[in-house]
Amino acid sequence: MASSLDYSQFHEVFRPDVNAPYDQLLVRDIESKRKKLGGVLFIDRVLRALGITKGERGPPSAPTPLRC
């Protein structure tokens, strides 16, 4: 049986051997969609509704901003 991923461990979720969680093509696509939708994506609305305002808007282009 495969072991489950421990989501409380940053290094298990975001492996250190990966330079960025999203490739540049995906980052540009997400930013383009945000711009077309007036600067607000669904996830932006969800985070705001949950009271999460800390940090910069995504997507992260490096693993460092993912750490809290």
How many Å apart are CA 61 and CA 23, to the nearest integer? 8
State the pTM of this model: 0.55
Q: Residue 44 CB: number of other CB atoms within 10 A? A: 15
In tens digits, what is the pLDDT along the chain, a chain of 68 residues?
A: 457 878 788 777 777 776 666 788 888 898 899 999 998 889 888 888 988 877 666 776 665 666 65
- Every domain of the chain and the residues it spans: 21-66
How many Å apart are CA 14 and CA 63, to the nearest integer? 7
Strands (E), 1-68: none
How many Å apart are CA 61 and CA 29, to the nearest integer? 13
